[in-house]
Amino acid sequence: MSRDITMVELLKGYSKNDRHISKVRILLDQPSDLQERGSGHDISARPRKQVHHRLDEAELASLVSLYLAGTNVKDLAAQFQVHRTTVTAHLQRRGVRPGDR
């Protein structure tokens, strides 16, 4: 099979034929053209996605009280491991406006 065929074309060709699934799996396990050419785009070397940190009610209450006590948004974001805009959004949802200190 030619290596010039795209992944979409390959899957489209085999999608309705169950007996060829093992062939597709074998093809998918082969290194990509980019890896074979040594382009430096090794898919396995990609950084992992950021883990999202959902704040619970106690953390949200602490965030609001620390903000009202004078802690700035940047420091709160670092402390609670969330983005600055997330801190601002949580404060707004709790009725705290910028400058309410």
Sequence-separated (6 or more) residues with CB below 8 Å from residue 97:
91
Average pLDDT score over residue span 64-75: 95
Q: Are the C-beta atoms of 8 and 16 separated by less than 8 Å?
A: no
Higher pLDDT, 21 or 48: 48
- At residue 76, does pLDDT exceed 80? yes
Q: Residue 53's pLDDT is what?
A: 78
Q: Residue 80's pLDDT is what?
A: 94
Domain boundaries, the chain: 7-43, 57-93
Residue 76, phi then psi, degrees to nearest 5 = -65, -40
Average pLDDT score over residue span 7-19: 64
pLDDT in tens, 26-37: 777 776 655 555
Indicate the average pLDDT of the chain. 78
Amino acid making up residue 65: S
Percentage above 70 pLDDT, the chain:
62
